[in-house]
C-alpha cells in the first residue's frame, strides 16, 4: 500500500491554525468533509473525537494518526495536516505533535484500514522523512516528499 494511493495533494494542509487537540480534529474534519461529499463534518468530528477519547492517536515523535470508520465512505479517505508550533495531543512520548494524518475507512473495513495505519505509522517513524515534511514550503512540496518516500518501497 502506498500513501499516495490514500492522499491527494489538495488533502494536504501545511498550515493548520488550531492550537489544541479538539481544534486540530475539527479543522481536519472540516477539510475532509468539504472535499468529500459523502462526509458530514459534524459526524466525522464526533467519530474522530470519540476514537481519540479511547486513547490518544499521537504515536510520538511529533506524529498523530487520528482515524475512524464511517458507513458514508466506500474507500479510505485521508488528510494530512501540519502545524509548525506543535500542539499538545497527549502523545505517548509527552512531546508536541506537528503532523496529523487522518484516516477515515468504511465501517466494514478491517484489513485495508489496519494496513493503512501500519504503513503510515512505519513511514512516519523515519526521522528524515518527518524532517523533510516539516521543512517543506507548501502542500506541493509535502506531497513530493510523500511520493519520493513511497517510491523507495
| Residue numbers annotated as active site | 67
**DSSP state at residue 3:** G
Which stretches within 1-153 are classed as H helix?
A: 21-35, 41-54, 111-124, 127-135, 139-151
What cell numbers appear for 115 in the block?
494496513
What cell numbers appear for 132 in the block?
523533510
CA atoms lying within 13 Å on the CB side of residue 16: 31
Task: Report residue 106: phi and psi, to 5°.
Answer: -60, 145
Contact call for residues 37 and 70 (beta carbons, < 8 A): no
Contact call for residues 71 and 47 (beta carbons, < 8 A): no
Amino acid at each position: 500500500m502506498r500513501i499516495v494511493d490514500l492522499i491527494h495533494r489538495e488533502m494536504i494542509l501545511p498550515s493548520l491554525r488550531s492550537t489544541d487537540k479538539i481544534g486540530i480534529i475539527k479543522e481536519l474534519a472540516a477539510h475532509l468533509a468539504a472535499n468529500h461529499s459523502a462526509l458530514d463534518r459534524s459526524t466525522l468530528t464526533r467519530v474522530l473525537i470519540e476514537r481519540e477519547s479511547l486513547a490518544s492517536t499521537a504515536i510520538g515523535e511529533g506524529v498523530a494518526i487520528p482515524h475512524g470508520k464511517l458507513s458514508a465512505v466506500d474507500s479510505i479517505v485521508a488528510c494530512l495536516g501540519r502545524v509548525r508550533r506543535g500542539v499538545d495531543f497527549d502523545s505517548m512520548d509527552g512531546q508536541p505533535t506537528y503532523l496529523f494524518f487522518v484516516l477515515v475507512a468504511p465501517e466494514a473495513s478491517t484489513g485495508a484500514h489496519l494496513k493503512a495505519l501500519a504503513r503510515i505509522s512505519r513511514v512516519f517513524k523515519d526521522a528524515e522523512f518527518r524532517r523533510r515534511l516539516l521543512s517543506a514550503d507548501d502542500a506541493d512540496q509535502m506531497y513530493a516528499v510523500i511520493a519520493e518516500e513511497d517510491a523507495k518501497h
